[in-house]
Amino acid sequence: MKAEHIAKRFGDVEVLRGVSLQVGRGDLVSIIGPSGCGKSTFLRCLNCLEIPDHGSITAMGVRIERAGGRWTRADDHAAHRLRSHVGMVFQSFNLFAHLSVLDNIVLAPRVVKGEPAQIAREQAMILLEKVGLADVARRYPATLSGGQQQRAAIARALAMRPEIMLYDEPTSALDPIVAEEVLAVMRTLDEEGMTQIVVTHDMRFAQQASDTVIYMDGGQIIESGPPDMLCVNPTDERTRRFLRTVL
């Protein structure tokens, strides 16, 4: 996945200022930085949940390029194709409360891809086994712990067979023990070769699991590098100051 010179403004506030990023196939990239620095907006731009004002995004052969102007129907079609390759997991789970865990996962393959019900359910059970939730497939989200709900959300995203997974603070609403259940699933996906981009405040995960850590501040990428470099010996004073507050 490649993003070039992504800019985004909300009214008078310039949230992203020409952010560029290239992620190799199978890499796990963690994006860290203070609250309000543009991390989540950038992640949402990568999936076209927020439409960049300027810049381009390329993923799995799909390219979206913006230079101002209107968002067209052709742009909509390109964004739809891009999203078919890119899964998204949110901080707030966003599971449908009136559906069982199994039905939450079956819904998108049935509606969006038109998969036969039996095949969709069989694949959903395989995914629930992968994330350790096969035994709660018939339960409703409200009866699950936060960690179980987030793992179900990951399984739901995987049901669309994405090549790239994006996570927006997937463990920030969870206590450390429960969060580890979710992080273990992400580590397993990394071992299987899934490309993953994670906005996170979990510095232990960023240090231990990432191929690359990116530090953002003020709507820009300040520096990036392997975790044993960026988290131990960053070159920019802003990065050093941030790390002193979180480590």
pLDDT tens, residue by residue, 89-135:
998 888 999 999 999 999 999 998 899 999 999 999 999 999 999 99
Q: Using an 8 Å Cβ cutoff, are 144 and 101 in contact?
A: yes
Spell out the domain ranges in the chain.
Answer: 2-85+162-246, 100-161
Place of tokens 């992400």: 186
Distance CA(203)–CA(231), nearest Å, equals: 9
Distance CA(209)–CA(181), nearest Å, equals: 14
pLDDT value, residue 150? 95
Q: Is the pLDDT of residue 235 over 90?
A: yes
Place of tokens 């802003």: 238
pLDDT tens, residue by residue, 164-196:
999 999 998 888 888 999 999 999 999 999 999
Distance CA(48)–CA(42), nearest Å, equals: 10
Q: Using an 8 Å Cβ cutoff, are 109 and 120 in contact?
A: yes
Q: Is 229 strand, coil or helix?
A: helix
Q: How confident is the model at residue 152 (pLDDT cuts 50, 70, 90)?
A: very high
User: Quick one: 2-85+162-246 is in which CATH superfamily?
Assistant: P-loop containing nucleotide triphosphate hydrolases (3.40.50.300)
